[in-house]
Amino acid sequence: MVTASSESALLISVPTAEPAVAAHRSRLDSSAAQGVPAHFTVLYPFLPVVTADALAALSRLFASVSRFGFVVDRTAWFGDRVLWLGPSDPGPFRALTDRVFAAFPACSPFG
C-alpha cells in the first residue's frame, strides 16, 4: 500500500477479524477509512515506493515460508493512542519481520 505521504507497509490482512473490530476501527483508526484492513504489521515503514523489483524480491523471500495459524489472545498499547491485538505466539510474525529487514536493511522495523 502506498499512501499520500509515500510510505508503504507490509501487512498480513486478517479478514476474519473485521466483524469484531470494524466498528472500532472505523471510529478510531484513520487507516481504516483509507481502506487498510484489519491486519498484522510485518514491517512499517517499508519503501517509499514499492517497485516491481521489490515485489519480485519479496516473492522470492516469502516463497519458502509455510502458512501458519495463530490465536489472538491479548491486547496491548503502542503509546497511548494505538491499541493492538496480539497473537499468543508472536514468533512467526517476528520471523517474517526479521526476514524482510535482513533483505531490506534500510527499512528499520517501526522506524
DSSP class of 18: H
Task: Give tens-digit pLDDT for 20-68.
Answer: 999 989 988 888 989 999 999 999 999 999 999 999 999 999 999 999 9
Residues 6+ apart with CB under 8 A from 14: 37, 38, 39, 40
Predicted TM-score of the model (pTM): 0.85
